[in-house]
Amino acid sequence: MEQYKVGVIGCTGMVGQRFVTLLEDHPWFRLTAVAASARSAGKTYEDAAGPRWAMASPIPEQAKGLVVLDAAADAEELASRVDFCFCAVDMGKEEIRALEERYAKLECPIVSNNSAHRWTDDVPMVVPELNAEHLEVIAAQRARLGTKRGFIAVKSNCSLQSYVPALHPLLKYGVDRALVCTYQAISGAGKTFQRWPEMVDNCIPYIGGEEEKSEREPLKLWGRVEGGRIVAAAGPAITAQCFRVACQDGHMAAVFVKFREGGKPSIQQIKADWAAFRGPAQDLALPSAPKQFLHYFEEPDRPQTRLDRDLEGGMAISLGRLREDTQYDYKFVGLSHNTLRGAAGGAVLLAELLCAKGWIEAK
């Protein structure tokens, strides 16, 4: 695979830092440019990100000396240097929508971690193992934007990864509804315990906008491309509660699922479906793809956040505690790494899929 020149917009934040670390020694992608707000522009990446560096590994050598561009003022310059950009900015949604469309119109594809375009109906929101066919809508988006190579593709909300992949292979049995409670790490808010001491020994039963995303976004993932837009699925119905908990990384979900009359599979069948499930990311052997997407633990106290969030480089989903329920048919627990599979890693995997499928080409 040819190497692609890559930029990171929003490079100093938690997800931006994760992008920078994931691009170190990536076999297909080479970090060529970084951009952030005007207050970081003009500094080296080491000077701009160093005081707030939150990753366990040090700043990659290849990134330290890159001069940070102004994401807005230097858009033309950044677009000219790269084949595509990742985007993870901390701005208002309208500003993000405008910024991402500006880059797309500069013929710079954007692979976004932001939520601003998740409900734009010609912007694909893709988990590579689940709905790679939604990339077809890019042709309609390009027609709307008047571009030849520029477009926007987004990944879904980080907490969805802990339960939607587990529900996906069960849809064939007729999932009627699901109840989900997520327990989400503080890195999902861009925080560490040093920066957020109030979270030590604490649980906050509210994350702004998270429950709405958890209930609605799966329906777009399970939708279909029709007439140049993505039409969301009508169901299954999902209700969610989301909690911020005292973990640095890893989002956990307690899931309850009800099947339509006559559709309920056995526990053994569900486990077999999970074990066998694979998608285009595995079929194409994409560099960031886990070899086994869904891992089931038979132990009664697994998955655990500290033990299992880094499974397969943080890109696999851990499942456990599948059992019958008194009100729903079954209940189980899911776990995903929120800044890897859930954020930057999921976007890198999506970019790999876009390159493998020819939607992104080197200039």
Indicate which residues carry an active-site annotation.
158, 251
Distance CA(234)–CA(246), nearest Å, equals: 35
Distance CA(305)–CA(40), nearest Å, equals: 34
Distance CA(91)–CA(320), nearest Å, equals: 37
Other Cβ atoms closer than 10 A to 201 = 7
Q: Among the residues of 119-278, which ranges form H helices?
A: 138-145, 164-167, 210-221, 267-276
Distances (CA, A) of 249 to 122, 307, 310, 327, 346: 32, 11, 9, 31, 15
Q: Among the residues of the chain, which ranges form H helices?
A: 14-23, 45-49, 61-64, 75-81, 93-105, 138-145, 164-167, 210-221, 267-276, 280-283, 305-308, 311-314, 345-356
The 3-state DSSP class for residue 93 equals helix
